[in-house]
Amino acid sequence: MKHAVRRSSSNTSRHLIIGLTAVSLIVGACAPAPAAPAPTTAPAASQASSASIKYTGTDPDKFSALLTTENTQVPAELQRLASTSCASENAALPLAIQQTPGAQIQQQIQLLASQNSLPVMFNPTQALIVKDGALQKAGYILDIKQALGDQGVSDQMLPGAQAVIDQLYPGVSPTIPFQYNIEGIFYNKKMFKEQGIEVPQTWDQLVASANKLKSAGIQPFTAGGKSGWPVSRWIGAYIFRSLGGDAMAAVANKTAKLTDPGYVAGAQAIQDLGKAGLFPVGVASEDLPTAYNDLVTGKAAMEYQGTWLLSNINDPKQNTVGLDQVGLMQIPVVSGGKGDSGAWPTNVGSPHAINAKLYGPKVGAWLKCIALNYADSLMTNQTAYSGFKASHPPVLAAPTPGTAPPPVPPLTTDVANYMASAKSSVLWFEALSPSAKFTADAGANSLLLLNGSMTPLEYMTALQNDLDNPS
Amino acid sequence: MNQVLGDKRAILILLGPALLMYSVIMVIPVVWSFGFALFRGNLIEGFTFVGLANFARLIQDEQVGSAVRFTLLYTVVISTGQILLGYSLALLYTFVLRRSSSLIRTLVFFPVVLPSVAVGLLFSRLFAVAPNTGPVESLLTLFGVAPFDFFAGAGTAFWVIVVMDLWRSMGFYGVLLFSGLVDIPGEILEAARIDGARGWRLIRSVVLPLSLPILVSSIIFSLNASLKVFDTIVALTNGGPGSQTTPITLLMFQTSFFYSSFGYGSSMAILISVMCLTVTAFIFKYSRRDLTVAEAA
């Protein structure tokens, strides 16, 4: 018989539990700030009257945000908005950002939630904010789609971004789409041209191109293997092309298993790339900046990445191969595969939730201001895309006040076109997993798969085991 | 003295604070941890009693089995290395360097005072192939060895950990065992020499038996520290590649604090405690054997 320990105990006893848990386990064993675009106002017709807005909480005294240290883009833009477009909202509710390493933030979020002390905005894991997630059930997560609608700015959300959120979080809309990225293979156009390589359309052509580059003494692929996911994304990319865009959804709803032959074949395809020596010798030790650097300095020809990389690629100080020499190609089709060749893996960045218990008029005003101004500020200053509507065409920040803004880099324009013309989207390998352990193991074990220490079946069996035994 | 120790209030005043402190920071958390092992849940939704389910999962969990096997292998290799190197250093200090051993002792002891994380980062740079090639890799390349990543293979990563931990800790065991050797009366050694004992015979028949108490203490220190290894491995490999250098302590930490499975993590904490207690009890049992009685029998 199971006995539930009710959460009705006082905060004091909860603090005691938390403290003792930690102790017992241990004992027992900016870029410069250029001018941002002028504040945008919502069309009068879409302005909602404040009386009709349903606020789910009470405003705190600060617009507090607990974000990961690795998250550099969002804090920089929020701070910029606080001093420009959202200055009045900031005067009413000052922005206060606190950052903590990603490895520790979930523990901190759970601790704060248990003490009813969560800040206004925070970076939770996906598992906590899905419809049946612990924070959802505890009433902490504001429905962003509903809130933007109430604020009269629902038309600011890009339909594509909302579609991704709907796939990731069926039935709820718990995250602000601070990013809107498509993923694919960035490649060095000059190297391809010199070697007489056309952009590969099939997986076999991709492998042949990589082998040709290797024979010419060029490192074909680079990846920030130390983070794990830059390698495991390759596995997902193959599976989505071979089995179709709903391949991982089938695993999530238990109509398929990762140990089924089609999924194992995905792992096998990536192991084959590793065995052929197409990744660097030290891929397991390469961090993300090193991998970016390999691509934009001409040390490697290709890297699987997302368009968040645009800010690096468009920076002439980092990119020595030329702003017009880096291209983005789709994941090639797999012969006989069921995948939609026009579908790009798409994401909306890491989850950014708003505390529903602190959602009052001032937080609402901040949310509305973000929806109206974030996209332009991000494009202007970091040449990146968010899930909100931006002015078209994008305008970049002038290097010095009074001078003309630089032209929009060609890849940024290409990405905008890809996004506009995308027929459909797919998620990514780990996207629908409810388990943090699955994500961690998918990344960490992918390096063993790549160097042959783990067979494709062993890799998929370990991941299926994580799915079968959730924490 | 008898008067003081016969007074219950005096005993309470003398022992009370220490006992209270010990109970608060040791006994209660251990009992609490055991309690947590019977529950499943998280801090937000609360905890549900699941009986021994966490222990049943522990037995079946292949990752736990792998972590325990790694921990035991690490313990055997590291403890053997620490005691052999430490004892060799102690003999060197005592019988070869003698009074001039101070400088060498200080130099060999120096890594002990370095923060473990700093040592881990130092060795990760020494053996790195990316993002920058480290000295070891450069040296191997000079001898025509093709570049490879020490941290990409379980075997090579394990031996880097072994080299690092032995370098970091052998000075401590050298000094600890040296303190035992200097306590051996000079007259006994002199008498043994007069009787013709030299070299290995002197060590085996005289020095080793007389330094047995400190040797046993060192073995217990070493085994327990090795079974609970955590910080150096986190700093050097973070348990990778994959989870192939993940000791049970790191798996417990990840399970509890990354994956928020406090109950399951607590069951791992209990497993670690049982492993440490078993090893300690085993050593105590065999080190307290009365040699005189054994010989008489």
pLDDT tens readout for residues A226-282: 999 999 999 999 999 999 989 998 998 899 999 999 999 999 999 999 999 999 998
Query: Is B30 within 8 Å of chain A by CB?
Result: yes
Please report which confidence band the pLDDT of residue B1 belongs to, taking 50, 70 and 90 as the band edges: low
Q: Which helix (H) or strand (E) holds B87?
A: helix B62-91
Q: Name which residue leads in pLDDT, A448 or A32.
A: A448
Phi/psi at A22 (5° precision): -60, -50
Q: Give the residue from A391, A418, A449 where a domain finishes.
A: A391
B134 and B127 in contact (C-beta within 8 Å)? yes
Which class is B62-296 in CATH?
mainly alpha
Residue A35: its pLDDT value, please?
Answer: 37
Per-domain residue ranges of chain B: 62-296
Query: Is B251 within 8 Å of chain A by CB?
Result: no
Residue A330: C-alpha distances to residues A408, A418, B241 (Å): 22, 10, 30
Give how far the C-alpha of residue B19 lies from the chain's centroid of Cα atoms, to the nearest Å.
26
Domain assignment present for residue A29? The answer is no
Q: Which residue of A has its CA nearest to B248?
A: A29
**How many separate domains does chain A show?**
2
Which residues of A are less than 8 Å from B249 in CB distance? 29
Q: What value, to the nearest 5°, has the Cα angle with vertex B124 and ends B86 and A106?
A: 110
Residue A51: its pLDDT value, please?
Answer: 57
Residue A104: its pLDDT value, please?
Answer: 85
pLDDT tens digits, one per residue of B11-25: 888 888 998 998 888
Look up the CATH number of the domain holding residue A102. Answer: 3.40.190.10
Q: Which range, of A112-121, A230-239, A265-274, A418-427, averages the lowest pLDDT?
A: A418-427
Residue A387, exposed/middle/buried by CB under 10 A (0-12, 13-18, 19+)? buried
Q: Name which residue leads in pLDDT, B96 or A215.
A: A215
Mean predicted lDDT score pLDDT of chain A: 86
Of A14, A27, A104, the CB nearest to B26: A27
Q: Mean pLDDT across the stretch B75-103?
A: 92
Which residues of B are less than 8 Å from A138 in CB distance? 44-45
Of B43, B129, B248, the CB nearest to A285: B129
Q: Any idea which residue has 């998929």 for tokens?
A: A460
Q: Which residues contact B50 (CB under 8 A, 6 or more apart)?
A: A2, B38, B39, B40, B263
Q: Mean pLDDT across the stretch B157-183?
A: 95
Of B45, B49, B256, the CB nearest to A25: B256
Q: How many other C-beta atoms can be found within 10 angstroms of the C-beta atom of residue B34?
A: 16
| Same-domain pairing of A187 and A303 | yes
Q: Mean pLDDT across the stretch B283-292?
A: 67
Residue B270: its pLDDT value, please?
Answer: 92
Q: Mean pLDDT across the stretch B220-228?
A: 92
| Same-domain pairing of A79 and A164 | yes
Q: Which residue of A has its CA nearest to B249?
A: A29
- Distance in angstroms (rounded) separating the CA atoms of residues A292 and A320: 12
Phi/psi at B99 (5° precision): -70, -20
Residue (of A273, A315, A281) closest to A297 by Cα position: A315
Which residues of B are less than 8 Å from A280 in CB distance? 130
Bridge-based pairing of strands A343-347 and A424-426 is: parallel
Residue A407: its pLDDT value, please?
Answer: 80
Instruction: Tell me: pLDDT of A4 over 60.
Output: no
Say whether B48 and A4 touch across the interface (CB within 8 A): yes
Residue (of A146, A143, A152) closest to A49 by Cα position: A152
pLDDT tens digits, one per residue of A307-366: 988 888 988 899 999 989 999 999 999 999 998 888 899 999 899 999 999 999 999 999
Q: Mean pLDDT across the stretch B241-268?
A: 92
- Distance in angstroms (rounded) separating the CA atoms of residues A282 and A276: 14
Residue B2: its pLDDT value, please?
Answer: 63
| Same-domain pairing of A71 and A195 | no
Q: Which residues contact B270 (CB under 8 A, 6 or more apart)?
A: A28, A29, B33, B34, B37
Please report which confidence band the pLDDT of residue A436 belongs to, taking 50, 70 and 90 as the band edges: confident
Please report which confidence band the pLDDT of residue A81 belongs to, taking 50, 70 and 90 as the band edges: very high
Q: Mean pLDDT across the stretch B155-177?
A: 95
Q: In chain B, helix, strand, coil percent, each to 5?
A: 75, 5, 20
Please report which confidence band the pLDDT of residue A182 belongs to, taking 50, 70 and 90 as the band edges: very high
Highest mean pLDDT among A50-59, A259-268, B192-201: A259-268
Chain B nearest-CA distance from A287, in A, is 7
Q: Which residues contact A67 (CB under 8 A, 6 or more apart)?
A: A74, A75, A97, A98, A99, A100, A105, A121, A122, A123, A352
Which residues of A are less than 8 Å from B145 in CB distance? none
Chain A nearest-CA distance from B63, in A, is 9
A300 and A294 in contact (C-beta within 8 Å)? yes
Residue B24: its pLDDT value, please?
Answer: 87
Residue A433: its pLDDT value, please?
Answer: 80
| Same-domain pairing of A175 and A295 | no
Domain assignment present for residue A330? The answer is yes
Q: Quote the tokens at residue A20.
A: 């003792």
Say whether B41 and A5 touch across the interface (CB within 8 A): yes
Residue A118: C-alpha distances to residues A101, A108, B260 (Å): 17, 9, 17
| Same-domain pairing of A166 and A190 | no
Within 100-139 of B, beta carbons closer than 8 Å to A belong to 128-131
- The number of C-beta contacts closer than 8 angstroms across A and B is 171
Say whether B261 and A454 touch across the interface (CB within 8 A): no
Residue A367: its pLDDT value, please?
Answer: 97
Q: Mean pLDDT across the stretch A162-188?
A: 94
pLDDT tens digits, one per residue of A378-393: 988 888 889 998 876 6
Which residues of A are less than 8 Å from B259 in CB distance? 435-437, 440, 471
Of B153, B242, B270, the CB nearest to A445: B242
| Same-domain pairing of A334 and A451 | yes
DSSP string for residues in A277-327: T-S-TTGGG--HHHHHHHHHTTSEEEEEEEGGGHHHHT-TTT--S-GGGEE
| Same-domain pairing of A158 and A222 | no
Residue A53: its pLDDT value, please?
Answer: 80
Q: Which residues contact A238 (CB under 8 A, 6 or more apart)?
A: A203, A265, A266, A269, A270, A331, A334
Say whether B131 and A287 touch across the interface (CB within 8 A): yes
Q: Name which residue leads in pLDDT, A400 or B280.
A: B280
Residue B167, exposed/middle/buried by CB under 10 A (0-12, 13-18, 19+)? middle
Mapped onto helix, strand or coil, the DSSP state of residue A67 is strand
Residue B78: C-alpha distances to residues A18, A444, B161 (Å): 34, 26, 9
| Same-domain pairing of A354 and A323 | no
Residue A470: its pLDDT value, please?
Answer: 74
Please report which confidence band the pLDDT of residue B167 belongs to, taking 50, 70 and 90 as the band edges: very high
Q: Any idea which residue has 């990445």 for tokens?
A: A305
Long-range contacts of B288-296 (CB under 8 A, 24+ apart): B291/B209
Q: Any idea which residue has 């054994």 for tokens?
A: B294
Please report which confidence band the pLDDT of residue B43 belongs to, taking 50, 70 and 90 as the band edges: confident
Say whether A21 and B152 touch across the interface (CB within 8 A): no
Say whether A18 and B270 touch across the interface (CB within 8 A): no
Chain B interface test: which of A285, A465, A469 (most B C-beta within 10 Å): A285
- Distance in angstroms (rounded) separating the CA atoms of residues B151 and A82: 44
Instruction: Tell me: pLDDT of B286 over 80.
Output: no
Helix spans in A154-222 (H): 159-168, 189-194, 203-215
Of B29, B44, B151, the CB nearest to A24: B29
| b/e sequence A22-36, b meaning 16+ C-beta within 10 Å | bbbbbbbbeeeebeb
Q: Mean pLDDT across the stretch A2-22?
A: 44
Please report which confidence band the pLDDT of residue B198 belongs to, taking 50, 70 and 90 as the band edges: confident
Query: Is B256 within 8 Å of chain A by CB?
Result: yes
Q: Mean pLDDT across the stretch B38-66?
A: 91
Highest mean pLDDT among A392-396, B13-17, B161-165: B161-165
Residue (of B152, B166, B94) closest to B124 by Cα position: B152
Cis? peptide before A200, omega within 30° of 0 = no
Residue A421: its pLDDT value, please?
Answer: 80
Residue A22: its pLDDT value, please?
Answer: 44
Please report which confidence band the pLDDT of residue A176 belongs to, taking 50, 70 and 90 as the band edges: very high
Q: Mean pLDDT across the stretch B159-174?
A: 96
| Same-domain pairing of A355 and A343 | no
| Same-domain pairing of A72 and A121 | yes
Q: Mean pLDDT across the stretch B234-238?
A: 93
Of B36, B153, B249, the CB nearest to A24: B36
Largest CA distance in chain A: 74
Q: Mean pLDDT across the stretch A280-308?
A: 93
Say whether A284 and B29 touch across the interface (CB within 8 A): no
Q: What value, to the nearest 5°, has the Cα angle with vertex A240 and ends A235 and A242?
A: 95
- Distance in angstroms (rounded) separating the CA atoms of residues B21 and A209: 67
Residue (of A322, A367, A438) closest to A154 by Cα position: A367
Domain assignment present for residue A434? The answer is yes
Instruction: Tell me: pLDDT of A403 over 90.
Output: no
- Distance in angstroms (rounded) separating the CA atoms of residues A19 and A113: 15
| Same-domain pairing of A352 and A366 | yes
Residue B147: its pLDDT value, please?
Answer: 86
Say whether A281 and B29 touch across the interface (CB within 8 A): no
| Same-domain pairing of A244 and A283 | yes
Instruction: Tell me: pLDDT of B260 over 90.
Output: no
A183 and A428 in contact (C-beta within 8 Å)? yes
Domain assignment present for residue A160? The answer is yes
Chain A nearest-CA distance from B12, in A, is 26
Q: Mean pLDDT across the stretch A133-157?
A: 94
Q: Which residues contact B225 (CB under 8 A, 6 or more apart)?
A: B169
Residue A173 gets the label, from left (phi > 0), alpha (psi -120 to 50) or beta, of beta
Give me the domain span that covers residue A244.
Answer: 182-347+426-468
Cis? peptide before A316, omega within 30° of 0 = no
Instruction: Tell me: pLDDT of A13 over 60.
Output: no
Mean predicted lDDT score pLDDT of chain B: 89
pTM score = 0.83
Domain assignment present for residue A415? The answer is no
Residue (of A464, A435, A443) closest to A125 by Cα position: A435
Query: Is B189 within 8 Å of chain A by CB?
Result: no
Instruction: Tell me: pLDDT of A9 over 50.
Output: no
Residue B125: its pLDDT value, please?
Answer: 92
Highest mean pLDDT among A158-167, A360-369, B88-97, B205-214: A360-369
Domain assignment present for residue A2? The answer is no
| b/e sequence A375-385, b meaning 16+ C-beta within 10 Å | bbbbbbbbbbb
Say whether A285 and B253 touch across the interface (CB within 8 A): no
